[in-house]
Amino acid sequence: APTLTGPTATYPAILPEVDLQVTADPQGGFTEIFIVHTPAAAANPTMKTLVLAVQSNGLTLTADPTGNLMATAPGGHSAFTAPAPTMWDSAIPATAALAHPAATDTPESSSAAGPGQGAHVAPITVAIAGQTIALTPDQTLLTAADTVYPVYLDPTWTPITPPRGGWATVATKSSDTRIATTN
């Protein structure tokens, strides 16, 4: 059973030392964050590829070559989109980097909300097969000697409001992965 805090449901130990945190946003989207607490959890063979079953009423899932996700309704209009999933650890910046806190609006520490200033960040490989989404975390980040736990893995879904909706995002540490959609 989840623990509920505001719009967030935390499912503890969906795998040993791995929690799932689902947060609904006011626009009708949601974020799923896998929180990997230890190196032992990261070494679990299930962490090589996380397969998520999707139940929907007629939506078709697709992914573009960079991993951006789309759920399309009958008739071809976009119902939900998600930027390419990423992962980050809890590394904090070196003391010297903190001398200029106004230089960035990125928080010092990582959390489920996003990576902190010193976080190691990597893309997550995505594959769609029917009504499943396979997420393959970057094994180098999961197992590196300098990885600081917990490690966070996210796909974030945003609804597209008919008849037209749109948004754009560029991840600072993955500026080559972009999604902008308008229908």
Q: What is the pLDDT of residues 116-163, one digit of tens each?
A: 989 999 999 999 998 899 999 999 999 999 999 999 999 877 787 554
pTM of the model: 0.81
**pLDDT digit string (tens) for 160-178?**
755 444 545 555 555 555 4
pLDDT given for residue 57 in this prediction = 84
**What is the dihedral sign for C-alpha 9, 155, 143, 171?**
negative
Give the neighbor-by-neighbor strand order of the sheet with 132-136.
50-53, 132-136, 125-129
CA distance 152 to 34: 6
Among 32-41, 56-65, 86-95, 168-177, which is the least confidently predicted range? 168-177
pLDDT given for residue 162 in this prediction = 52
Residues 6, 89, 100: CA angle, nearest 5 degrees:
95
Contact 6, 123 (CB under 8 A): no
116 to 8, 80, 119, 173: CA distances (angstroms)? 20, 27, 5, 11
